[in-house]
Amino acid sequence: MSELDEFKATYFEECSELLSDLEEEFTVIEEGDRSEERLNAVFRAIHSIKGGAGAFGFNQLVEFAHSFETLLDFVRDGRVELNDEVVTLCIRSIDLVADFVGAAQDGEELASDFGEEELARFKMLSGEDDAESMEDFDIEFTPVMVNVGDDASTAETSPDDSLAVEEGDSFEQAPMETGARFWKIEFTPHYALYERANDPLLLFRELNTLGQVEIVAKLINLPDLSGFEPFGVYCAWEISVHGDEITKESLEEVFEFVEGDCDLAISHVMADADADTNLVGFSETAETPDQTSAPAEDASAALVPDLALAASAEDAQEEEEADISFADLAASIEPTPAPVSAPVAEVKEPQEKTKKPEKNSGKAPAVQSIRVDLDKVDRVVNMVGELVITQSMLNQQMDDRLKAQYQELVRGVEVLAQTTRGLQDAVMAIRAQPVKSVFSRMPRLVRELAKKTDKKIRLEMVGEHTEIDKTIIEQLSDPLTHMIRNSADHGIETPEKRLAAGKPEQGIICLSAEQAGGNIIIAVEDDGAGINRERVLNLARERGVVGPDQQLSDEQIDELVFAPGFSTADGISDISGRGVGMDVVISNIKKIGGSVHVRSAPGKGTRMTLRLPLTLAVLDVMLVEVGDGPYVIPLSSIVETIQCERADFGFAPSGRRVLQIRGEYVQVIDLVTRFEMTTKVPEDERFVVLCEGEGSMKIALIVDEIIGQQQVVIKSLEENFQRIAGIAGGTILGDGHVALIVDVPGLKVAPEQKTAA
Amino acid sequence: MDALEARDDSDQHDIELGNSMQLIAFMIGEQVYGVEITTVREIRAWNGATPLPNTQDYVRGVINLRGTIVPIFDLRARFGDGLTNTTKNHVVVVMSVGEKWVGVLVDAVSDILTISKKDVHKVPEGDSMDSELLNGIVTHDNKMVGLIDLDAIVSVVKTET
């Protein structure tokens, strides 16, 4: 079964890709692009999701996706107008499909009425007929495992499904009518037909609405197993249509869409002639009715060879499938004309085929890619990291004397430096992914928020192709969700208020990503009311976040929204307002070495920016000396450095030293005392490193010496040891020694614990 | 739990080798200690370590072992005998304890001993430090060899934080 699990995993991966494609397509469609190409793309995506779901027996998903697909099909051929209402329904339905997929993935069962409303609307829009025939549709998705003689396939094959096929498929029930004239259609599809996502079954069903239809599959072209092409087209059909009012034109109309992709011959013939052809076509299987009355097991055993004979050389997989359906057929239903049941199995087969070419054609222009274990990539990243360090070590070893003496060597080292840089960038690019994978979850969020808050909100996305390290992307989802929630709930006003303020009814949230130097800037901007600074300040005073006499600049007040436990919402809604949102943003972003800023213009909107490092593997740091050990401080958290001599220190009433800088008082932490070391460096010659800690609160670290800036690879201390308060990890310097990375936000917390203890 | 498992492992090992086991013996002052040879990964000369702040004094710091950071425990200090006055002649024995690699700072590595499992005696009751850090005592060439309980050395650190 593990193999099956693997297939499932692949299916779910595909689903998430397809869903994000769908989301994208509909965004364009919503904007007014109603081209056929787009409709085909969404149709294909839904169809692929449905197909896989059927194979794994996710019935709820199949049912929903099928109705959805039917509607899309009707839209595609113009029977249903693609108006805004339908588009909204479709977009809502994509969310539902995502829920179904999610539920299937987690092995959960959704409430049976989940999505019922949408389902009903599908049926209403696409008409009664189709709703009825939906049951029939299950047949194509009788699970087919390409697993010869294995238990997995038999276990997955639900006998009930195949039974439903025999009983339910309407065109099989057509009794033969003799003596009258009827239409005979010879229909041989080409590969192109399947490639364009056409489905013979739909054509047959269409024919069935015109009159009584009898369909016979011809497998004369089926090659030996050795010559069997999985994508090959081996099946042709001979269709007889009985009905008084049928004209050649009406028949041709059915095949209008596949014109040119198949061989089609339509003729008006007498019943007698038909009897002859039928006899020829089914001479081998004609005897089966007698055998079906035998006990079930014998019957199936006897039937299988018969079928195999009829189909010349069938795939083993198909044999098995047929085995089951025939066994059940024999066991549970009255003997029916066997020729009818034989083609049924064949109808499925091309159906299976259609899916594959479809997918191929859908993805054909895509860049070729391979899936690689992230671990493997990380190993390369680590090694390149080591290489970068070795290279910088080499550079450090080159003193002026050496440089003068060995010019060739210098040139070599320079080239090495360049190549190493290039290699590093290339490796990082492997890990990099477009932020689209996170952004694509946001439109749904905005839709749901808009619905819940009764606001009109449009989400605009810019730069979703900006690439950023995968690990960072994974950490982005929560912060972005919180930020967008915040914008939707607190930022954007209700339509009435907006109109009153002279703004358009619909609010806009703009989510953008861009690369700026070694950073990625992700911004969430809304055109809402902006931050109510007065209220924020009052609330902050009330809750003791800000002291009663403390004067804050506008910017500082804005930043208060990130303080833990802070919420400006008048009431707690189920979207936001519990005050756990924005500080989560801060802590998540800090964790990955980024920073958060917020700027707001009253009445005009708010802009929240995330500044993120391009990669996590290599960190830009400042190398400092504290006591007798080398330490590094991430550059991203450093605001500035000052010589102690020039720094303006003061003392708080508690006796703690504070640094006064530009009217701000900042907590001072002497790393030597904090890390329980001693130093011989005189106080005035030491340095202050002003850092931004938790929630943009600054702290001043005092170090003995500033050595310089460099790039380091982060190593874990916990791997072989344990976490140490105030230390974020270790790194290996050019000389092979270990330097410790200062955990700036962590420093602030620890000493309080110490004094308490 | 870890400690129990490790003991089980060493028991199994004994069965495989019949009834004997091999130790790497090292000195701290005049006292000989031993660890099972299979746990030892590397022996290297002391070349300094980056001190770790806010840890117990017997944690001498961390070293770079081919790109991984490995903590060094001063065994003398661990036994409560003060910090080792390190020279270039001191030795770090790198061992694996469960998933982790740790280094132990000792004065010198003296020998590889093959001992019989039945010669391993229980640590006499009384001194809690001894029974806590030793798995047993074995006599070799009329000298007492203490079998280091590596799990204890590492796990004690954990519980203290």
Tokens (6 digits) for A245: 């009012």
Average pLDDT over residues A334-338: 44
Give tens-digit pLDDT for A498-535.
888 888 888 899 999 988 766 788 999 988 888 888 88
Structural domain boundaries, residue B40:
2-160
Q: What is the model's pLDDT at position B103?
A: 93
Please give the CATH number for the structural domain made up of A618-756: 2.30.30.40
A397, A623, A737: which is closest to B65 by C-alpha?
A: A737
- Residues of chain A neighbouring B68 (CB-CB closer than 8 A): 715, 719-720
For the beta sheet containing A507-516, the strands, ordered from the edge strand earlier in sequence to the opposite edge, are A457-462, A507-516, A519-526, A605-613, A595-601
Q: Which CATH class is domain A435-613?
A: alpha beta
Q: What is the pLDDT of residues B12-71, one digit of tens each?
A: 454 455 678 889 999 998 889 999 999 999 999 998 899 888 888 889 999 988 778 999
Q: What is the pLDDT of residues A680-739, one digit of tens each?
A: 888 888 899 988 765 567 888 999 989 888 777 778 888 888 888 888 888 888 777 899
Minimum CA–CA partner of A627 in chain B: B51
Measured CA to CA, the distance from residue A44 to residue A50 in angstroms comes to 10
Would you call B50 and A676 a contact, using CB atoms and an 8 Å cutoff? Answer: no
DSSP code of residue A365: T
Tell which CATH architecture fits domain A1-126. Answer: Up-down Bundle (1.20)
Tokens, residue A177: 């009518």
Predicted confidence (pLDDT) at residue A558 exceeds the cutoff of 90? no
Average pLDDT over chain A reads 73
User: Distance (Å, rounded) from C-alpha A243 to C-alpha A210?
Assistant: 7
Using a 10 angstrom Cβ sphere, with 0-12 exposed, 13-18 middle and 19 or more buried, the burial of residue A622 is: buried
How distant is the Cα of A713 from the closest Cα of chain B, in angstroms? 10
Q: For B69, which of A674, A717, A726 is closest by C-beta distance?
A: A717
Q: How far apart are CA A602 and CA A531, in angstroms?
A: 6
Helix (H, G, I), strand (E, B) or coil at A570: coil
> Tokens in use for A240?
């007889």
Between chains, do A739 and B50 touch, taking CB under 8 Å as contact?
Answer: yes
Cβ–Cβ gap B68/A715 under 8 Å: yes
Calpha distance A385→A401 (Å, rounded) = 29
Q: Tell me the C-alpha distance between A751 and B62, whole Å.
A: 23
Q: pLDDT at residue A327 above 70? A: no
CATH code of the domain in which B35 resides: 2.40.50.180
User: Do the beta carbons of residue A210 and residue A250 sit within 8 Å?
Assistant: yes
**Is 0.85 exceeded by the ipTM?**
no
Determine the distance in angstroms separating the CA of A683 from the nearest CA of chain B, rounded to an integer: 21
| Confidence category of residue B90, pLDDT binned at 50, 70, 90 | very high
Neighbours of A691 (CB within 10 A): 25
**Chain A CB within 8 Å of residue B71 CB:** yes
Count of CB contacts below 8 A, A vs B? 78
- The reply to whether residue A740 touches residue B63, judged by beta carbons under 8 angstroms, is no
Report pTM: 0.46
Overall number of domains in chain B: 1
Q: How far apart are the C-alpha atoms of A580 and A577, rounded to whole Å? A: 8
Interhelix angle A59-76/A84-106, nearest 10 degrees: 160
The CA-CA-CA angle for residues A262, A267, A272, to 5°, reads 130
Nearest C-alpha neighbor of B76 from the set B85, B87, B63:
B85
**CA angle, B18 then B19 then B22, to 5°:** 100
d(CA A81, CA A580): 45
> Which helix or strand (DSSP H or E) is residue A194 part of?
helix A191-195
Which residues are bridge partners to B50 per DSSP?
B62
Asked if B63 is an interface residue toward chain A (Cβ–Cβ < 8 A), one would say: yes
Alpha-carbon torsion, ordered A561, A563, A566, A568, to 10 deg: -10
Residue carrying structure tokens 């919402």: A569
**How many alpha carbons lie under 13 Å from residue A295 in its C-beta half-sphere?**
2
A59, A100 contact by CB (below 8 A): no
Q: Which helix (H) or strand (E) holds B25?
A: strand B20-28
SS3 at position A366: coil
Whether B142 has its CB under 8 Å from any CB of chain A: the answer is no
Nearest CB neighbour to A720, from listed B71, B158, B161:
B71
Nearest CA in chain B to A729: B69
What residue segments make up the domains of chain A, in order of their start?
Answer: 1-126, 140-363, 374-433, 435-613, 618-756
Tell me the shortest Cα–Cα distance from B72 to chain A, in angstroms.
9
Instruction: Kindly identify which residue of chain B lies nearest to residue A631, measuring between CA atoms.
Output: B50
Token reading at A136: 């029939």
Query: What dihedral angle (degrees, nearest 10) is formed by the CA atoms of A579, A582, A587, A593?
Result: -170
CB A186 within 8 A of CB A157: no
